[in-house]
Amino acid sequence: MSRVWSLLMPYRARMAFAWGLMLLELAVELALPVLMAKMVDDGIVAGEMKAILYWGSIMIGLSLFSFTAGITNSFIAARIGQDYGFDIRKELIEKVQSFSFGQYGHFDTSTLITRMTNDVTQLQNAVFMSLRIMLRAPLMIIFGTAMALFVHFKLSLVLLVTVPVMTFFMLFMMRKGAGMFSLVQLKLDKVNSVMRENLAGIRLIKAFVRSGREISRFGHAGKDLMNQTIQVIRTFESIVPILLLVMNGGLIFILWFGFVEMQNGTATTGEIVAIINYAARIIISLSIFTFITLAFARGKASAARIDEVLTVEPEELKAVTEEYPADGDILFNDVTFTYPGGKAPVLQSLSMKVKRGSMAAILGETGSGKSALLSLIPRLYEPDSGSIAIGGRDISRMDVRRLRHKIGFVPQESHLFTGSITDNIRWGKKDATEEEITEAAKKAQIHETIAALPDGYDTIIGQKGVTLSGGQKQRLSIARALIRKPDILLLDDSTSALDVKTEGRLIEAITSEECTIFIVTQKISTAEQADCIFMIEEGKAAVSGTHRELARKHDLYKRLMESQGRKGGAYEASGQ
């Protein structure tokens, strides 16, 4: 059993009850044509009003009972479907949250959204139909045919030919439909992907006057989805006309042959009415079976897509044998790392040492591996080879959650959440007090800006901080990291949008913290405040030293200084 369907196991008792109600409803439906035959023969044909009232009362009572069972079944089926959908979405979000960065890269964001929404809805529909009509339709076809044969064998022989043919036709279409609906879901993924990119980059689209291109791109994706959906609908819509043609042909034959049998005195009016009734119910059930086929073709495709996410195996981690040290230097020892799916390593045999409580600036050209270096410290990725140690203890043998609780991380792209400024800063420490929030904001040099807002810290900033400038978002992200009181602070080019004065005050504030700081930067003004600077070239720590040392002896650092209007010649001339 796949992981998707195994989530139905907690609902076994309720499902059994729902199926029991469905069987009661079915039993009444199967009995009604026989009772109608009795009423026709014993009452209407014979002119006996008592028989009509007797059998009519029984039929009305049974119909009310069937109606009550059907309504109850529908309620239970709908509730199980909703609960089941909730369980799948919960499992999906928990699974996605457990992904490593490498595993997350295997799935596009848009396809994960589609699987959590549209695909789950398809499974909910399949579950509802399975409890409401999935068994009822085929059982009605099977037992309706059997009851018709019981009432009059010769008249019902035509059903023995048409019903199996139509049933196999339905099963064939279901198998064919599963593949077709998989393609529909892939096209829907593409539409969601284009839409997500458009909404995320709307300001850039407006600034570059590229609305026409993006509308065209969305139109192409939407047209592909439309064409694929039309193809599926065209295929499945052909089922009902074929079905009705065959079954109505059989019905006409029953009427003609029934008239002949009545003439010969081998069939009664009631028997013909009953068989026609069964044939009509079988036709309805086969028509319903079309919708069941459609729902389960979609459900099968959706289940496979969701299973693909749920069955991702967690990456094996080394046994936890090391505790996080109270203090200690951070050592990279011969570390090589390649991004998952990448062909060439971004870090190669990198070795470096950062002293406890110091500030290390990481400089280098674009693509030299600076961000990758920072990502390895909280174990967002694992190195291909080599080791990273804190206080002489290998972080690969530390508990990941405890390690990350000791780290404040500010990524290159500041990400804020919908909510108030307080909510976003407190996101770094869920039990932070108002005083701690204010203190973190002051250190991040954002307190005065917040205080000037009409609602202060209660200001709603909008999705991803859309109402804030780049520098404000960076400082809020830094405040969120500082409120954790981290032992290690990682700033991945997180001050690029700040002016020199604001950045200077920020660096002064964070260096007063009792933590080891890694800051990726391209600014010499930032690097010169660091205790040690590491120049990363082609994935290796090419050279390290203080600002003065590098200004004297490293050509790339000198060129970087000159590009920012700084002169390194004074250090060379003085010999300092």
| Section 375-391 average pLDDT | 91
Q: Domain for residue 533, yes or no?
A: no
Of 405, 369, 403, nearest to 389 by C-alpha is 403
pLDDT cut 70: percent of the chain above it = 91
Residue that wins the pLDDT comparison between 152 and 308: 308
Give the position of tokens 């799935």: 107
Please determine, for residue 208, whether its predicted confidence score (pLDDT) is greater than 80.
no
Q: Counting Cβ atoms within 10 Å, is residue 21 exposed (0-12), middle (13-18) or buried (19+)?
A: buried
Tell me the per-residue pLDDT of 277-321, one tens digit each, with 9 for 90 and over. Answer: 888 888 778 777 767 777 777 788 788 888 888 888 877 666 677
Q: Are strands 540-545 and 532-537 parallel, antiparallel or unpaired?
A: antiparallel
CATH of the domain at 452: 3.40.50.300
Residue that is last in its domain, among 289, 310, 331: 310
Predicted local confidence at residue 539, as pLDDT: 80
Residue 260 clears pLDDT 90, i.e. is over it: no
Q: Is the pLDDT of residue 243 over 80?
A: no
The range of the structural domain enclosing residue 12 comes to 3-310
Comparison of pLDDT for 9 and 202, the residue scoring more: 9
The percentage of residues in the chain with a pLDDT greater than 90, rounded to a whole number, is 24
The model's pLDDT over 215-231, given as tens digits with 9 standing for 90+, comes to 888 888 888 888 888 88
Confirm whether 244 is domain-assigned. Answer: yes
Same domain, 306 and 449: no
Domain boundary among 310, 326, 354: 310
Closest CA to 280 of 66, 574, 29, 544: 29
pLDDT at 256: 76
Q: What integer is the mean pLDDT of 450-467?
A: 81
> Angle of helix 239-264 relative to helix 211-237, nearest 10 degrees?
20
Which string of DSSP letters, residue by residue, matches 494-516? TTTTS-HHHHHHHHHHHHTSSSE
Q: Which residue has the tokens 């949008």?
A: 497
pLDDT of residue 570: 47
Distance CA 148, CA 453 (A): 79
318 in any annotated domain? no
pLDDT tens-digit map of 523-553: 888 888 899 999 888 788 778 888 888 888 7
| Mean pLDDT, range 29-47, rounded to an integer | 84
Residues 306 and 418 in one domain: no
**Among 106-115, 157-166, 390-399, 495-504, which range has the highest average pLDDT?**
390-399
Of 181-185, 268-272, 328-332, 512-516, the least confident: 181-185
One-letter identity of residue 297: A
Q: Are 140 and 280 in the same domain?
A: yes
Is residue 575 very low, low, confident or very high in pLDDT (cuts 50, 70, 90)? Answer: very low
330-337 β-sheet, strand order:
347-354, 330-337, 385-390, 393-394
For 6-37, how does the pLDDT look when each residue is reduced to its tens digit (9 = 90+)? Answer: 889 999 999 999 999 999 998 998 888 888 88
- Of 345-349, 459-463, 548-552, the range with the lowest mean pLDDT is 459-463
Mean pLDDT, residues 238-261 taken together: 71
Please state the rounded mean pLDDT for residues 193-203: 75
Residue 131's CATH number: 1.20.1560.10
* Per-residue CA distances from 255 to 62, 251, 262, 367, 426 (Å): 28, 6, 10, 81, 77
**543 located within any domain:** no
Q: Among 310, 334, 358, which residue terminates a domain?
A: 310
The average confidence (pLDDT) of the chain is 83
| pLDDT classification of 385: cutoffs 50, 70, 90 | very high
How many domains does the chain divide into?
2
List Cβ neighbours of 531 (8 Å cut-off, separation of 6 or more).
355, 358, 359, 360, 546
Would you state the torsion angle of the CA atoms of residues 414, 415, 420, 424, taken in this order, to the nearest 10 degrees? -80
C-alpha 515/C-alpha 540 separation (Å) is: 25
3-state helix, strand, coil in the chain (%, to 5): 65, 10, 25
- Is 568's pLDDT higher than 70? no
Question: Using alpha carbons only, what angle is made at residue 337 by residues 334 and 340, rounded to the nearest 5 degrees?
Answer: 165
Q: For residues 236 and 114, state if they share a domain.
A: yes
On the question of pLDDT at 571 being above 60, the answer is no
Q: How far is CA 136 from the centre of its chain?
A: 33
Mean pLDDT of 482-497: 90
Q: Residue 573 has what pLDDT?
A: 43
Asked whether the whole model's pTM tops 0.85, one would answer no
d(CA 199, CA 356): 43
Distances in whole angstroms, Cα of residue 169 to Cα of each of 71, 130, 248, 432: 31, 20, 16, 64
pLDDT at 576: 43
| Confidence at residue 240, expressed as pLDDT on a 0 to 100 scale | 65
Report the alpha-carbon distance of residue 447 to residue 442 in Å, rounded: 5
**Residues 81 and 201 grouped into a single domain:** yes
